[in-house]
Structure 1
Amino acid sequence: MVVPVSCRAALIAAALVVLCALPALAEDVEQKDEVLDIGTVHVMERGARPVTLEPRRETIDIEEYELPGTPASVVDVLRTMPLVDFRQESDMVPEDDSVYLRGFDSTRFSTAMNGLTIRQSGGRKSSNIVDYGALIPLWMIGDIEILPGPHSALYPAKSFGGVLNIRPRVPSREELQDAQVNFSASYGSFNTASTHLDGHGGVDSVFYDLGVQRYTTDGYLRHTDAEIDTFYGRGGYLFEDDGFLTLSYLYVDADRNLAVANDPTQADFDDDYPHVDKDTPEFSDWQHPASDKVAQSVDLYFVKPTGMGEVSVAASHRTENRDRKYDEIPRGGGPVQDGSWNTKWEQRAVKLMDVVEINGENTLTVGVEGSQLLDGYGRTNWDSAYASHERVRTLAGFAEHNWDITPRLHLSLGARYESVETWTANVKSSGDKWISYKDDWINRTFDGFTPKSFLTWELDDVDASLRDTSVSVGVSRIWRAPDYHGNMNPQGRPTGAWLDPEHGMGYDLVLQRRLTGDITMKVDFSYYKIYDYMTYNRSFSVLPDYKDYQINLDEVEQKGVEIVLGGHLTDELAFTLGYAYIDMDSLGGELAGEQAVDQRAKHRVNAGLSYALTPQTTLIANYQFKDKQTTEIINYDRNTDVVDSHTEDLDAFHLFDFAVEHTLFDEWKGLSDGTVKVYVNNAFDERYQNVDGYPGTERNFGVSFSVSM
């Protein structure tokens, strides 16, 4: 019997749920690095895909995390988690906003550094809220904390899809005794190469980190070659009471060409590259499109235990200057002209927080957070462009109380008040106003209050069969203001003058259980009700003054399931298995609603294995399944009010990646940890499309080498 691929994924999920009901498979056993408290379960051995599972979060230990290939950015690690949906046109070149979290794009979840949210006003022919290719280098990350859902008061209200909190490593005093230099290099198919050198050291309580990296590729798709150069430096001081202060600087120079059509029916077809239909990409080869960027950031992070609790301050100043270059033919015809957009973004942000322990059973976290998002133009072909202007200003206060009601019952109650002020541009490139009776800048302020709650009950004392098992319930309010260029000024139109904030409720039911040894499973059922969901309505707009160019949908509903299972089957064999199901529906009947929730695979499976063949050699395998993605095609004739619609599907696909990693030497002539890895991605040469109709990368090979001194 042939089982459809979507059913196979569902059957895997069903099998995992059945496992959750089984009694514990073994009594206490001695396990290295294992914590037998269901609230926090660690899987820490090399090659085990070390992930800490908690009911409210999952934490990836980057230093120990094994991948078959050589990661180009933090996204290559995140995409192995079932929570994260990879959305890039090509996996060869890191892009901006290249992942969804629980089916939501970057406007509805947060990426943070040391708890401080990274974001921009965005827009200008791409979303550009977070550019993961211009984020902190992967080798400087200690761990990544993933918080699914809307249940934390510590992050912006827009974070109802969840949070990706990136935490740079902080050295211990023991690590400062000897300086260390690390070097790695890799080379693979499509002339893809990555080289990086980093150094770490310190004297007494002062420490430093320096690193450079260069990533280049010819790309798989036509005209997708790239060069990304990164410099990172950080200085810090360790206090005697485990507090610390760090100040870091990041500089990225990224030159990325953009995919173009490569249609066999066109005269400029090049059979050295895969076929890309002329209607799929935004550009043709004659336009020579590119997205060149220089990004810089200065970040301060301070943590200090005091008599009034542990005080922390995170502050950041980030700038990005992107030159999106391409040739174009004017709308009225005529010779080819430069259609480039040179855009500048700036973020200023600060977060002050205090964590106070009360009687050993209560922890109170209070804080304030603010940000300013500015943007402007460095070069345009119209006179009305502005050099720099504040587009979004946020100010928030938050509190979260964690209470151990009993040794087995834990409650988190939180609340966040947030004020969001926005400025919508109301001037055309000609200098005229879009809305004649409004100001040049339309200023609006939105206020939202979001209560949060999360309750965990550990069932150890209920029955022996429920040992190392917990159940959790999260109930929290959803709220989000129109705080993004694509909401305020899509295609330049001043839709921010009319939009209302999104609001609703989010619910999670989480079951977590240690099955045996360090093998642990977590199952999370989520349900969202979102009212006034913002979406584009350009194709169906009929009202004057752009009142319906972007609209608030009446109601959007989401149902989801996420399963994470992992640990050691034997001392040598470790595994992870993840499954995600998502179903989003627009319930208000708006034509734009169907398009707002399409292009999301209902079923996704991620799995990984690592096997220590010998103490020096490890075999690594990855598997990814993604269900079909359906696109709603709706044609609306305003003159006749006739609607013609149909759907188009991207087929489901399976990907397998394999690698062999071998330690050449532990110590040799002053060098240490010499390691070589040989890998193959898409080993069975699956033909697939990941998003927007672009062909996924064919089978490709590579080798990497790393050493320390």
Structure 2
Amino acid sequence: MTVRSLWGGARFGALPLVALFALPVQAQGSTEAPAASIGLDAIVVTAQKRAENMQTVPVSVTAVTSEAVENLRAVTLQGLQGTVPNVQINNFSNAPNSAVYTIRGIGVIESDPYAGNTVSIMVDGVPEYFSMGALVDLYDINRIEILRGPQGTLFGANTTGGVVNIITNQPTGEFGGKAEIGYGTYDRLDVSGTVEAPLVEGKLSGKIGISHNERDGYVTNIVDGSDMGRRNVTLFRAALRATPNDRVDATLMGEYVRARNGAPIVVNGATPGEARYVAPGTRFDNAKLPMYANPCPADGGRCKAPDKYYSALEGVPDKSNMNTYRVNFTLNVSDTAIGDITAITGYKKFDLFEYTDQNGTPVSRDDTRRETEGWQLSQELRTAFDVNDSINVILGGFYMKTHYDHQQDFRISFSPPPGLLQVNNQDQDNWSASLFAQSYVDVTDKLRFQAGIRYTHEKTEMVAGTYNSAHPSGVTTFDGTGNTPLGGFTVAGKKSWDNVGWKLGLDYQALDDVMLYGYWARGFKSGGFVGRVGIPQDIGPYDPEKVDTFEAGVKADLLDRRLRVNLAGFYTSYRNMQIAQIYFTEDGSGTTVQGNSILNAGKAEIKGFELEMQALPAEGLTLDGSLAYLDATYDRFLYNQVAGTTVTRVDMAGERLQNAPKWQATLGATYTAQVGPGEARARVLYTYTAAKYLTAINNARRAEVQPTHIVNANLDWTPDSEAWSIGVWATNLFDNRYIQSVYDAPGVFGLVNYAPPREYGVSFKVKW
């Protein structure tokens, strides 16, 4: 396998990309080589926008190979949850197409696009601006690089938490292909195939591929006994790569993803006395099964997943349809008068249409129809050059334009009537431009200094409105037919922000295979406007938030490269935090009204460490593991606790941040051995994630997600020809049942979502 430099066309031959959590490839020596030459292979990453050995990159980064993704049977990035230190990858209970990425306690807990991101998802050098659709489908990827801590100098705004950098496999100029078919529990079917070929020998090559994944849902609908949460996604991808000479390399890639999934699942977690409580065992005339048991206890404590998953979908279509279109163009020109030039152009468009039963019971009480369309256009242009033998510089500029339209229709059916329909419209344009520079200076043969700076200008325009209507029958219609208007408003906002972020650091090659490093980085998340508004004041704007991170670490290959130890410690000051919360203000006539917006109301301190290890203790055996600690707490945050008409001011100082478990750990083992005319490989991986709070800003006990213990396993056999392989796999091997998230709405209910149960299956792969 070869990895091509993103900025100069150079190649690194025969360097397998080994992830800490993938099957590490043991470097087998030739028959003449001594046994001592066997060791862990180099890991090549492009985390600093240049290809280099991960052990020389002065930042906390984990590389995940395609083999690791296959071992996890991960069809999207969410399949990596729990496997990367201090990284959380989730979705929302009632908006599963919207991603929740949190790194070192820094993330955004808001499903609508206006809130932006703190973790940038990059696909072949192009950022994913929208959280909708950001749980990227993982097909034919080369590797995933996950960088922790602010990455603003090289990757721009909204990277205060870090960056998830996805690199897909590009055309190689050689004829070949691969295909896979797999079958598993819940009628899971995986079918994929890729073919590539030279079109003009040595000058032009092409590649096409298709991937399809489908399965039934693992939650039973008590209304009709059907399954809920089904998945049906097909991805089409094509690429052309031109190499007219040794200096020019250009790749054009197009992709279409068609998703026709089941509606978002809402499990009712109401307790006695709350508005949506239904006693377990209650029979409904329209339901095949009785009301399921409540997963949340009556005392408001932590919810617990049952052995059998139930919910209800009634009155809305079982539909969540999404189309995603993507075009990327990457041009590399090396050895020009101004250095090695890289230009990356990206365009993406998506549309999402889904219904949600917001009640989770056979009674149609409230439901939602959501329709979103969005697009983004981005351009990056950079050059890398050597000033002299000691100084290397990257200079560049970046531009992005985005737009989205969003409509949410939320209807409530009352008894007695009338029913209520609330329509929320959002129309946002965002424009961003930046200039950046980063330099490495060799102070001595062992000591290196780095400095980076980025100037960013962002401008956002938002038009948002909310309109209410009622229907005398008690059941409103989504199209408004027969509804009586109750009034509403439209409000607009426009503002721009400027920011300068930087990074300063040193790294020292203490020994040939031991590097020490430290840096100080400042990043920011841009300001913006709120789209889901209840009163006009909700729109904002809210201001940018800023992060200063100090990190120090060591990267070491020891015992003749049989042991790899990477350790990073960090301290982060998180200021002017953007926090979604309930607040109170005057409406202009002296009347106090309640709003729900994003306010710059918080300050936090975050500290911790990440330890990653990999070892080759014996021939054929590889061990790997990680341990992460995170102390992420509010230093200042006054929160309005609302219960009915009573408002209590709560000081959240000392409370943990959202989606920030204190401990994470993994432990894996891989064993390979000759079995018959081929090689067998066994892989087992255990992951632990401590308890955390998710989607309840006040850390309500009901919204606490329990600690999780997950074991995944694989067993594969490949003949000596390596032309094909057959394998069996299992995820969540011991079928532990867990809560994935709970949205806590005091006095109403807990909106619960379950984590996947055990899945297992078989797969057959062939390549040529």
On whether the aligned pair clears a TM of 0.5, the verdict is yes
1:678 corresponds, among 728, 739, 743, to: 728
Following TM superposition, by how much is the alpha carbon of 1:596 offset from its aligned partner in structure 2, in angstroms?
Answer: 8.1
On the 8 A contact 1:276/1:694 being kept in 2, the answer is: no
Counterpart residue number, 2:504? 453
**Structure-1 separation of matches of 2:69 and 2:373:** 37
Residues 634 and 662 of structure 1, relative CA distance in 2, 3 Å threshold: closer
1:206 corresponds, among 193, 196, 204, to: 204
Where does the alignment leave 5 or more consecutive residues of structure 1 unmatched? 1-26, 41-49, 121-126, 461-466, 636-643, 667-671
Residues 665 and 541 of structure 1, relative CA distance in 2, 3 Å threshold: farther
Following TM superposition, by how much is the alpha carbon of 1:227 offset from its aligned partner in structure 2, in angstroms?
Answer: 0.5
Aligned residues: 628
Counterpart residue number, 1:184? 180
Counterpart residue number, 1:509? 552
Counterpart residue number, 1:528? 572
The residue type paired with residue 132 of structure 1 is L
Verify: 1:417 aligned to 2:480, yes or no: no
On the 8 A contact 2:82/2:688 being kept in 1, the answer is: no
The residue type paired with residue 319 of structure 2 is A
Structure 2 counterparts to residues 167-566 of structure 1, below 5 A: 167-172=167-172, 176-177=173-174, 179-202=175-198, 203-204=200-201, 205-222=203-220, 223-241=228-246, 243-257=248-262, 258-261=264-267, 264-267=280-283, 268=287, 270=289, 284-288=312-316, 289-305=318-334, 306-326=336-356, 339-377=368-406, 389-429=427-467, 440-460=491-511, 468-483=513-528, 487=530, 489=532, 495-518=538-561, 519-538=563-582, 540-542=583-585, 544=587, 549-566=597-614
SS state of the match for residue 660, structure 2? coil
On the 8 A contact 1:344/1:378 being kept in 2, the answer is: no
Residues 242 and 58 of structure 1, relative CA distance in 2, 3 Å threshold: farther
Bigger shift: 626-635 or 525-534?
626-635
**Structure-1 separation of matches of 2:739 and 2:250:** 45
**Structure-2 separation of matches of 1:165 and 1:634:** 29
Counterpart residue number, 1:23? none
**Structure-1 separation of matches of 2:91 and 2:408:** 28
Counterpart residue number, 2:679? 616
Following TM superposition, by how much is the alpha carbon of 1:193 offset from its aligned partner in structure 2, in angstroms?
Answer: 1.2
| Cα shift readout 1:172-205 (whole Å, capped 9, x = no counterpart) | 4xxx24x212110111111111111111111321
Following TM superposition, by how much is the alpha carbon of 1:623 offset from its aligned partner in structure 2, in angstroms?
Answer: 0.6
On the 8 A contact 2:171/2:239 being kept in 1, the answer is: no
**Structure-2 separation of matches of 1:282 and 1:685:** 16
On the 8 A contact 1:39/1:55 being kept in 2, the answer is: no
**Structure-1 separation of matches of 2:517 and 2:364:** 64
Residues 224 and 648 of structure 1, relative CA distance in 2, 3 Å threshold: closer
**Structure-2 separation of matches of 1:86 and 1:365:** 31
| Bigger share in strand | 2
The residue type paired with residue 625 of structure 2 is L
Following TM superposition, by how much is the alpha carbon of 1:55 offset from its aligned partner in structure 2, in angstroms?
Answer: 3.0
SS state of the match for residue 537, structure 1? strand
Residues 170 and 347 of structure 1, relative CA distance in 2, 3 Å threshold: same
Following TM superposition, by how much is the alpha carbon of 1:356 offset from its aligned partner in structure 2, in angstroms?
Answer: 1.0
Counterpart residue number, 1:150? 150
| Cα shift readout 1:317-357 (whole Å, capped 9, x = no counterpart) | 1111000224689xxxx998984222101111111111112
On the 8 A contact 2:437/2:454 being kept in 1, the answer is: yes
Residues 532 and 371 of structure 1, relative CA distance in 2, 3 Å threshold: same
On the 8 A contact 2:384/2:394 being kept in 1, the answer is: yes
**Structure-2 separation of matches of 1:360 and 1:269:** 76
**Structure-2 separation of matches of 1:373 and 1:482:** 15
Residues 541 and 703 of structure 1, relative CA distance in 2, 3 Å threshold: farther
Residues 323 and 89 of structure 1, relative CA distance in 2, 3 Å threshold: closer
On the 8 A contact 1:38/1:514 being kept in 2, the answer is: no
Residues 577 and 336 of structure 1, relative CA distance in 2, 3 Å threshold: closer
Counterpart residue number, 1:115? 125
SS state of the match for residue 701, structure 1? strand
Residues 157 and 201 of structure 1, relative CA distance in 2, 3 Å threshold: same
| Cα shift readout 1:250-308 (whole Å, capped 9, x = no counterpart) | 10111222223378445448599997569999984114453210110111111110231
The residue type paired with residue 651 of structure 1 is Q
| Cα shift readout 1:511-567 (whole Å, capped 9, x = no counterpart) | 2222223321111111111111001112x4445487773211241111121111114
Residues 404 and 266 of structure 1, relative CA distance in 2, 3 Å threshold: farther
Bigger shift: 161-170 or 336-345?
336-345
Following TM superposition, by how much is the alpha carbon of 1:490 offset from its aligned partner in structure 2, in angstroms?
Answer: 5.6
SS state of the match for residue 98, structure 2? coil
Verify: 1:572 aligned to 2:615, yes or no: no
**Structure-2 separation of matches of 1:579 and 1:500:** 35
On the 8 A contact 2:507/2:515 being kept in 1, the answer is: yes
Structure 2 counterparts to residues 619-638 of structure 1, below 5 A: 619-630=682-693
Counterpart residue number, 1:163? 163
Residues 446 and 284 of structure 1, relative CA distance in 2, 3 Å threshold: farther
Residues 196 and 52 of structure 1, relative CA distance in 2, 3 Å threshold: farther
Counterpart residue number, 1:102? 104
Bigger shift: 264-273 or 594-603?
264-273
**Structure-1 separation of matches of 2:765 and 2:37:** 33
Bigger shift: 361-370 or 540-549?
540-549
On the 8 A contact 1:262/1:273 being kept in 2, the answer is: no
SS state of the match for residue 591, structure 1? strand
**Structure-1 separation of matches of 2:236 and 2:45:** 40
* Runs of at least 4 residues off by over 6 Å: 36-40, 50-53, 271-275, 278-283, 334-338, 378-386, 430-436, 545-548, 631-635
Identity %: 17
| Bigger share in helix | 1
Counterpart residue number, 2:38? 31
Bigger shift: 446-455 or 372-381?
372-381
The residue type paired with residue 760 of structure 2 is F
On the 8 A contact 1:513/1:520 being kept in 2, the answer is: yes
SS state of the match for residue 739, structure 2? coil
Where does the alignment leave 5 or more consecutive residues of structure 2 unmatched? 1-33, 48-52, 109-116, 221-227, 270-279, 304-308, 411-420, 469-484, 589-593, 641-650, 743-751
Following TM superposition, by how much is the alpha carbon of 1:74 offset from its aligned partner in structure 2, in angstroms?
Answer: 3.9
Residues 353 and 51 of structure 1, relative CA distance in 2, 3 Å threshold: closer
Counterpart residue number, 2:16? none
Following TM superposition, by how much is the alpha carbon of 1:311 offset from its aligned partner in structure 2, in angstroms?
Answer: 0.5
Residues 66 and 616 of structure 1, relative CA distance in 2, 3 Å threshold: farther
On the 8 A contact 2:55/2:555 being kept in 1, the answer is: no
Following TM superposition, by how much is the alpha carbon of 1:86 offset from its aligned partner in structure 2, in angstroms?
Answer: 3.2
- RMSD of Structure 2 on Structure 1 (CA): 3.8
SS state of the match for residue 740, structure 2? coil
The residue type paired with residue 736 of structure 2 is E
SS state of the match for residue 659, structure 1? strand
Following TM superposition, by how much is the alpha carbon of 1:569 offset from its aligned partner in structure 2, in angstroms?
Answer: 2.2
Following TM superposition, by how much is the alpha carbon of 1:410 offset from its aligned partner in structure 2, in angstroms?
Answer: 1.4
On the 8 A contact 2:315/2:364 being kept in 1, the answer is: no
| Cα shift readout 1:458-479 (whole Å, capped 9, x = no counterpart) | 212xxxxxx6322211101132
Counterpart residue number, 2:746? none
The residue type paired with residue 139 of structure 2 is L
The residue type paired with residue 104 of structure 1 is I
Verify: 1:651 aligned to 2:651, yes or no: no
Residues 33 and 497 of structure 1, relative CA distance in 2, 3 Å threshold: same
Following TM superposition, by how much is the alpha carbon of 1:494 offset from its aligned partner in structure 2, in angstroms?
Answer: 5.7
Residues 34 and 356 of structure 1, relative CA distance in 2, 3 Å threshold: same
On the 8 A contact 1:658/1:681 being kept in 2, the answer is: yes
Following TM superposition, by how much is the alpha carbon of 1:492 offset from its aligned partner in structure 2, in angstroms?
Answer: 8.3
